[in-house]
Structure 1
Amino acid sequence: MAVLVIGASSQIGHCLLPRLLAAGFDVVALSRKAQVGTARIEWKLARVPDRMPEPARYDAIVSFGPLLALGEWLSRQTEAPAPRLVATSSMSAVSKRDSVVADEVEIARQLRRGEDEVVRQCERLGIGWTLFRPTLIYGVGLDKSLTPLARRALRWRVFPIPAARGLRQPVHADDLAQAVVRALAVPESQGRTFEFGGGERLSAEIMFRRVRDSLPRATLPLPLGRAAQALMRWLWPASRGPLSRLDRDLVADNGLAVSVLGISPRLFQPDAAMWTRPEADMDMEHR
């Protein structure tokens, strides 16, 4: 059995490959950079949709790359390259719809367009599809949210902690990888979009404090009150979107995923190793 993994060197892919091997699959792993293969993992240089391997038949396709590109590649196929497809979107498709930043509203729109196109092409080709909308992903040092914050704090020895009442539900990349493998094994997952967050909802402020507490070196906490946040939004336009959402709940309803897949994501208990980049030179193909 062979699985084609698009975005295999992403943070979720880093966790997924060993789980696929343990489940008995061979893997054709796509990356934008050269990787060293093993007996059951064949790495190929590729970029969706234009630089893809020659068409082949797989038992399943898993994609962590952009959905619009995946949909375009599927639209070029006259036959289904696999009977099953599992792909990740993002809860940003929902949480950024009403952002005060136009670029973020566009991100949400593109995610929803991508979801719709992938579903449309899968139904045209007769592929059983499953989509995941994860919340903030962390755990292997490849994310673009908590890990950069942790590393900056380690360099500067200062950790900004904004006043924030909104709830967060960070999900570990390995829990999402486990959910993907389960989706491949559970027929009832087909034709469904699963929201997927971590096993704990906590305020954004507590989330930041736990990250600080997990660091291997002491850092000085720097509280950011409302006035400081307003000043940051004015001085640093790129911060407007994230700061505007600090009091909003960015969470997922795991009910469907738990009932169908039987997955119980872990609590948010970070440790120092989570902020270290994996030894392999992995490219950031998704989030």
Structure 2
Amino acid sequence: MTNVLVTGATGFVGRAVVKELLGRGHRVFAGSRGGEAVGGASGLKLDVTDPGSVTRAVGEADPGAVIHLVGIIQEQGDQTFSRVHVDATRHVLAATPRSARYLHMSALGAGEIPGSRYSVTKGEAEALAQRSGLNWTIFRPSLIFGVGDDFFGRVLKNLVSAAPVVPQIGDGRFPFRPVSVEDVAQAFVSALDRPETVGHVYALTGPQEFTFRELLELELAALGKKKPIVPVPLALMNLGVPLMQVLPNPPITRDQYAMLKAGNTAPNDEAREVFRLPMHRLQDRLGQIVQGR
């Protein structure tokens, strides 16, 4: 049994990782700002943007492994990409015992998407982990699906529900390979028992690739809706997206737009084989996701 400290434990992925850890007999410390208990894990107050808070949490957990999951998809106030992705990672790395395993949540396309501060800062955080001297493993998931997810359960759902027609960005051919939250959790926890994964970066993607248009069609079908899908030229989107940012809750942020245009796909062979992932299919889960249950 290993003491495992999980940052961002109350989040969508965090809860799945905690559940998987507990199922395998680990002693889990669920780190979050509020310090709430998650399942059978011990709740621990942890603000990753505060180095003192991180040091105290690590001291209390005495971890043999740290799983760093905290991340944001939209900046709000002082919660910037740089502060939450880069500074927070620096704090966690500095506090992690040198003998401990360190598992890091990054994102597919980290450091590779022009115009996306999300991507840039994810890449910077990866570089910090790789230079840390710790026994690190980095995971780069694609869009993560499951009940409670943000993309399929909110962003895409709102996009296909808000108007009489469904706007499609450009030609809709941007490729995506969504991965289930269960597959992601299994990969993270399995890495703890596989020392050969130290020093490796793994893409986490699902069993099937979809175009953006196909995702819109799947979302419509899951909601039981029939609407025309209307392409919106990129030139028009390039003008419209910046204007949307004046809204309190824009339907799409600049970073989300940049990432959608870039697509989000990669082969899954390595991670699937190393971690023996079941490869759950989006089509089998989407009905539950859009209904929120």
| 2:148 paired residue number | 141
Alpha-carbon distance in 2 for matches of 1:248, 1:221: 25
Following TM superposition, by how much is the alpha carbon of 1:73 offset from its aligned partner in structure 2, in angstroms? 1.5
CA 1:153–1:256 in 2, change beyond 3 Å: closer, same or farther?
closer
Q: For residues 47-105 of structure 1, what are the alpha-carbon distances to aligned partners after superposition, in whole Å with 9 as ceiling and x for unaligned? A: 1041232524212111111442343224544x716521111100131551x3xx3xx1x
Distance 1:63 1:4, change over 3 A: same
Matched, 1:201 2:209: yes
Contact 1:59 1:82 in 2 (8 A): yes
Partner AA of 1:255 in structure 2? D
Partner of 1:85: 102
Q: Which moved more, 1:186-195 or 1:106-115?
A: 106-115
**Aligned mates of 1:70, 1:236 — CA distance in 2:** 29
Select 2:198's aligned residue among 190, 193, 209. Answer: 190
Supply the distance in 2 between the matched residues of 1:196 and 1:204 (Cα, whole angstroms): 19
Structure 1 192/47 Cα, relative in aligned 2: closer, same or farther at 3 Å? same
Matched position secondary structure for 1:210 = helix
Q: Does 1:128 align with 2:145?
A: no
Please name the residue that 2:267 is paired with: 253
What SS does structure 1 have at the residue aligned with 2:59?
coil
1:97-148 CA-to-partner distances (Å, cap 9, x unmatched) read x3xx3xx1x3322211111112222x1xxx31110011111212232x2222
Aligned partner of 1:55 in structure 2 is 59
- Cα distance in structure 2, aligned partners of 1:33 and 1:87: 22
Q: CA RMSD in A?
A: 2.7
The code of the aligned residue for 1:63 comes to: H
Q: CA deviation at 1:231?
A: 3.2
CA distance in 1 between counterparts of 2:103 and 2:210 reads 28
C-alpha separation between the residues in 2 aligned to 1:45 and 1:65? 14
Distance 1:247 1:164 in 2: 9
Greater relative CO (CA pairs within 8 A, separation 6+):
1
Determine the structure 2 residue equivalent to 1:31. 32
What does residue 263 of structure 1 align with? Answer: 277
The match for 1:45 is 45
In the alignment, the residues of structure 2 paired with residue 132 and residue 158 of structure 1 have an alpha-carbon distance, to the nearest angstrom, of: 39
How far apart are 1:25 and its partner, in Å? 0.8
Shift of 1:29: 0.2
Determine if contact 1:153/1:159 at 8 Å carries over to the other structure.
no
| SS of residue paired to 1:113 | helix
Instruction: Using the TM superposition, give the Cα deviation of residue 154 of structure 1 relative to its aligned residue in structure 2, in angstroms.
Output: 7.9
Cα distance in structure 2, aligned partners of 1:245 and 1:63: 22
1:165 aligns with 2:166: no
Cα contact 2:37–2:44 (8 A) shared by 1:
no
Cα deviation for residue 157 of structure 1 reads 7.0
SS state at 2:265 partner: coil
Deviation of 1:20 (Å)? 0.8
**1:119 aligns to 2:119 (yes or no):** no
Answer yes or no: is the 8 Å Cα contact 1:165–1:247 preserved in 2. Answer: no
Partner of 2:20, secondary structure, is helix
What secondary structure is seen at the aligned counterpart in 1 of 2:201? strand
What TM-score, normalized to structure 2?
Answer: 0.78
Query: Who is 1:2 aligned against?
Result: 3
For these two proteins, the number of residue pairs brought into alignment is 262
Aligned residues of 1:64 and 1:87 also touching (Cα < 8 A): yes
Q: Is the 8 A contact 1:158 1:220 kept in 2?
A: no
Secondary structure at 1:185's aligned position in 2?
Answer: coil
Structure 2 contact 167–230 (Cα < 8 Å) conserved: yes
Task: For residue 31 of structure 1, report the CA deviation from its aligned partner.
Answer: 1.3
Determine which of 274, 279, 283 is the counterpart of 2:289.
274
Report what 2:76 is aligned to: none
Report the Cα offset of residue 149 of structure 1: 3.1
| Residues 6 and 65 in structure 1, CA contact (< 8 A), matched pair in contact too | yes
Percent identical residues: 22
Other-structure match for 1:281: none
C-alpha contact (below 8 Å) 1:62/1:85 kept by paired residues: yes
Provide the TM-score with structure 1 as the length reference: 0.79
Structure 2 unaligned blocks of 5 or more: 72-84, 246-251
One-letter amino acid matched to 2:89? G
* 2-structure distance, mates of 1:54, 1:255: 34
Q: In the aligned structure 1, how far is the partner of 2:259 from the partner of 2:36?
A: 38
- Whole-angstrom distance in 1 between the partners of 2:118 and 2:147: 24
Pairing partner for 2:185 from 174, 177, 181: 177
Partner of residue 236 from structure 1, selected from 235, 241, 246: 241
